[in-house]
Chain A
């Protein structure tokens, strides 16, 4: 599987405190050096296989996240880095915080930590590459992309500024996610 040898990542900072972002960048620098795994950081969603998101989701950045996700070609995997991206973390309950990333797009991997340590981020990316390869294999067998990569799941509507019009019932999706693997992945195992 060639996709395993050189997955490209794109990073977007939702409303993170920068802690996870600088650790994400530290992963790419000589001390941790993600590039030794063939991983390249790109700014263009259409070049990317792995979508890394740090920070909680708010109504302002939901359209941005959706747009990046939809522009990425299949197969693709999504990693929520840090506890904020997983559940909202310490900011859960703030008036401008919707919650974890899984309110907006399907998440394949959760990396815990506040801030997530570079070792944990690297581990998360390496594990997600296996999921990426599985998705590639399924696509090769003719499975419809929607079934494995899905569309976005957030239903709120936005005005022309990207501001949410209706109040989304955030509680419905607020069930706790196990940090580490998603239910999908457990089924596959």
Chain B
């Protein structure tokens, strides 16, 4: 047994798009312990609730994270709507679901690119991001912005998508499907990619339950944890079934996300086929949230909680966002124990960490 050494990993590291710091305790090339250290991205944005009125606060909550921005906006709106006891028109529910699934496609392709970069395939990274532009272009086309597009408001949506455009969106996604299959088959079938992912950072079903992991990390280990099963949005109407794999290693986590990209395209197609005509928002006037409400939502990275508490004033007393990356950090710490130093970047990425979500 060698002498133990502590290696600092991050905050500025080529493989990390975001600053997280890990103190890696090593014995020779094996990691014995990993201690996460955060605070580089902490802004304290939940406290802005004291300065921004509740209808405005949605803009702040959307900026918890730019990758899953739409879901954060939706979750906050859902929470305030629950607080006020209002129902959102069905067309708005369908459109929210469509935008949310597009965000999932965008986010998973982004992740595929980053993991490709981490295991050393730069051209695969480039192709993943090239295809990711398909979803981003749809955002731009329908909302005018590429990342943080602020279409959700309490009571519904700010923008509609015409039915012809919805059909175009489905066609656009279906047109790219062959290319997506080609791309994802490299991740799932290529020998050298498999060598870098299969068996790396395996978590059993019991581990995942014990660590409280959520989202694709949990689903890759055989735990069918998916908030979409509780039917927020219109997932019940669309006949949603979660993608679950059993192996629990990095490869399984990759496979879950790949399957979810195609599942999201299917869900969008079904939503477009079933979307009713009608209003996209209801008017909310003269009332302020006076109770407390906890809403849940399935983000690309897993289950997220949105808690709002009001006292009948225009400023809420508390907004709290529990993001999926927050729940997945303990799983990462566990995975890193006993891994090779060379696998640290891949393992860090397999939970799809979103540090600005963790710290807010």
In the complex, per-residue mask of B38-52: 1 if CB is within 8 Å of any chain A CB, else 0 = 011111110110010
| Cβ–Cβ contact A29 & B129, under 8 A | yes
Query: Which residues of A (30-49) have their CB < 8 Å from a CB of B?
Result: 30-31, 42-44
| Cβ–Cβ contact A64 & B40, under 8 A | yes
Q: How far is the CA of A95 from the CA of B63 in the complex (A)?
A: 16
Which of B69, B113, B146 contacts A23 (CB under 8 A)?
Answer: B146
Main secondary structure of the interface of B (DSSP, over half): loop
The verdict on B126 contacting chain A, using a C-beta distance below 8 Å, is yes
Q: How far is the CA of A25 from the CA of B133 in the complex (A)?
A: 12
The verdict on A93 contacting chain B, using a C-beta distance below 8 Å, is yes
Which of A15, A42, A117 contacts B146 (CB under 8 A)?
Answer: A117
Given contacts A93-B48, A96-B43, A22 and B110 within 8 Å (CB-CB): yes
In the complex, per-residue mask of B64-107: 1 if CB is within 8 Å of any chain A CB, else 0 = 11110100000000000000000000000000000000000000
Given contacts A15-B356, A22-B66, A64-B19, A94 and B47 within 8 Å (CB-CB): yes
| Cβ–Cβ contact B17 & A21, under 8 A | yes
B residues less than 8 Å from A93 (CB atoms): 48, 51
| Cβ–Cβ contact A15 & B40, under 8 A | yes
Q: How far is the CA of A125 from the CA of B205 in the complex (A)?
A: 48
Main secondary structure of the interface of A (DSSP, over half): loop
The verdict on B263 contacting chain A, using a C-beta distance below 8 Å, is no
Q: Which of B43, B64, B126, B148 neighbours the largest number of chain A CB atoms within 10 Å of its CB?
A: B43
| Cβ–Cβ contact B146 & A18, under 8 A | no
| Cβ–Cβ contact B129 & A25, under 8 A | yes
B residues less than 8 Å from A74 (CB atoms): none
Size class of the contact patch on chain B: 35 or more
The verdict on A148 contacting chain B, using a C-beta distance below 8 Å, is no
In the complex, per-residue mask of B290-326: 1 if CB is within 8 Å of any chain A CB, else 0 = 0000000000000000000000000000000000000
| Cβ–Cβ contact B126 & A30, under 8 A | yes
Which of B11, B14, B147, B359 contacts A115 (CB under 8 A)?
Answer: B147
Size class of the contact patch on chain A: 35 or more
| Cβ–Cβ contact B12 & A19, under 8 A | no
Q: How far is the CA of A140 from the CA of B40 in the complex (A)?
A: 38
Q: How far is the CA of A18 from the CA of B40 in the complex (A)?
A: 13
| Cβ–Cβ contact B66 & A30, under 8 A | no
| Cβ–Cβ contact A61 & B40, under 8 A | yes
Q: How far is the CA of A90 from the CA of B133 in the complex (A)?
A: 26
Which of A19, A26, A43, A96 contacts B44 (CB under 8 A)?
Answer: A96
Q: How far is the CA of A32 from the CA of B334 in the complex (A)?
A: 38
Q: Which residue in chain A gives the minimum CB-CB distance to B13? A: A43
B residues less than 8 Å from A30 (CB atoms): 126-127, 129-130
The verdict on B60 contacting chain A, using a C-beta distance below 8 Å, is yes
| Cβ–Cβ contact B356 & A16, under 8 A | yes
B residues less than 8 Å from A90 (CB atoms): 48, 59-60, 63
Q: Which of B63, B126, B127 neighbours the largest number of chain A CB atoms within 10 Å of its CB?
A: B63
In the complex, per-residue mask of A78-93: 1 if CB is within 8 Å of any chain B CB, else 0 = 0000000000001101
Interface set of A (CB-CB < 8 Å, partner B): 12-23, 25-26, 29-31, 42-44, 55-56, 58, 60-61, 64, 68, 90-91, 93-97, 114-115, 117-118
Interface set of B (CB-CB < 8 Å, partner A): 11-14, 17-19, 39-45, 47-48, 51, 59-60, 63-67, 69, 110, 113, 125-127, 129-130, 133, 136, 145-148, 354, 356, 359
Known: A18-B17, A61-B11, A115-B147. 15 other contacts (CB 8 A): A12-B12, A14-B19, A14-B40, A15-B41, A15-B359, A18-B18, A18-B356, A19-B66, A21-B18, A22-B17, A60-B40, A61-B41, A94-B48, A114-B63, A115-B146
8 example contacts (A-B, Cβ-Cβ < 8 A) are as follows: A15-B359, A22-B147, A29-B125, A30-B126, A31-B130, A31-B133, A64-B11, A114-B148
